[in-house]
A = this chain, B = another copy of it.
Amino acid sequence: MSKAIVALDCMGGDNAPGEIVKGAVLAANENKNINIKLVGRKEDIEKELTKYDYDSNLLEIINATEVIETGEPPVAAIRSKKDSSLVKCMYMVKNGEADAMVSAGSTGANLVGGHVIIGRLKGVERPPLAPLIPTKKGVSLLIDCGANVDARPSHLVQFAKMGSVYMENIVGIKNPKVAIVNIGAEEEKGNALVKETYPLLKEIKDINFVGNIEARDIPEGKADVIVCDAFVGNCILKLYEGVASVLLSKIKGTLMASLKTKIGALLIKKDLKKTLKSFSIEEYGGAPLLGLKGLLVKTHGSSKAIEIKNSILQCGTFKEMDLNNKFKEKLNLENK
């Protein structure tokens, strides 16, 4: 099988280019079957690369002089900055010079550019952004957290199918449980979108649809693929972060409250830190934007090298497992 080629936006995110380039080196040292194109200001990237040992056959610099900032209006940025690292990565995927791309840059520009420049797989109605979120049991795929805020039932049906393929092939969960976010467990509950979507999901033979999931049961890990429209998905994703962060700051405050608790804190600090890290959304690498002609993995703006590395490796698995053909298969089954 041919090697996966991954275009890496080296100028996007708060820690670019340092952590991004470091992530590329880590990935190259872990998987020799991936060629990484480092896209961005040549001299900046070269400077970072001098810090590391790596196989120079696996890393190649593609010069791009412009940078899209996080605050820029996405559509205008994509249109005007043709020589930005982000837009250049997108054209590489579009033109088949790369199988996939990774970016820690502006979410808006990634969503818009993914759609407009890379383009959808034929038959995919709306490409969903699908981050992995931590649960009691491991991880679940929250699909969609992207831009499709007023989704239709047919979109959610495609999300369920693509999500199922993704969890089975990339995360390695056999026959993943697919559920739709709802405000109760009973079939007749929900808003108009969910009520219309439920019977459609129930009919699909080749996914393991388990019915409704209440938000309370998402952190419990009661389903592997969590289907919802992007408005609800965004609320879930951000509240996950918000509740965890406030709770932790409250716990920290308690631990520092007295001499007694400070001593106690010393004894549990290391283990507690590990536990809390395992429940941090940022630990699980980037979120794939699915259903495009190639894969786009959007990592957090605050991404460190480890998240970049994991995202590049994810691109490798995506190519290796031939995921886009598996998507086509799964989606076509419905169109019969």
Taking a contact as CB atoms under 8 Å apart, the answer to whether B267 and A242 are in contact is no
Contacts of A194 in B (CB 8 A): 231
How far apart sit A260 and B218, CA to CA, in the bound complex (Å)? 32
Taking a contact as CB atoms under 8 Å apart, the answer to whether B267 and A260 are in contact is yes
* CB-nearest residue of chain B to A266: B264
Taking a contact as CB atoms under 8 Å apart, the answer to whether A235 and B150 are in contact is no
Asked whether A254 is an interface residue with its Cβ less than 8 Å from the other chain, the reply is yes
Q: Mark A147-186, 1 if CB is under 8 A from B, else 0.
A: 0011000000000000000000000000000000101000
Contact partner of A149 (CB less than 8 A), chosen from B190, B235, B271, is B190
Number of residues on chain A facing chain B (CB within 8 A): 58
Contacts of A234 in B (CB 8 A): 183, 214-215
Asked whether A279 is an interface residue with its Cβ less than 8 Å from the other chain, the reply is yes
A residues 264-315 near B (Cβ < 8 Å) are: 264-268, 271-272, 274-276, 278-279
Asked whether A258 is an interface residue with its Cβ less than 8 Å from the other chain, the reply is yes
Asked whether A250 is an interface residue with its Cβ less than 8 Å from the other chain, the reply is yes
Q: Tell me the interface secondary structure of chain A in the complex.
A: helix
Give the one of A216, A230, A243, A263 with max B CB within 10 A. A243
How far apart sit A254 and B250, CA to CA, in the bound complex (Å)? 17
Taking a contact as CB atoms under 8 Å apart, the answer to whether B247 and A150 are in contact is no
Give the one of A135, A192, A275 with max B CB within 10 A. A275
Asked whether A245 is an interface residue with its Cβ less than 8 Å from the other chain, the reply is yes
Taking a contact as CB atoms under 8 Å apart, the answer to whether A243 and B246 are in contact is no
Taking a contact as CB atoms under 8 Å apart, the answer to whether A216 and B239 are in contact is yes
Asked whether A321 is an interface residue with its Cβ less than 8 Å from the other chain, the reply is no
Asked whether A136 is an interface residue with its Cβ less than 8 Å from the other chain, the reply is yes
* Closest 8 pairs between A and B when the two form their complex, measured CB to CB: A264-B267, A264-B268, A216-B238, A215-B239, A215-B238, A183-B234, A216-B242, A219-B246
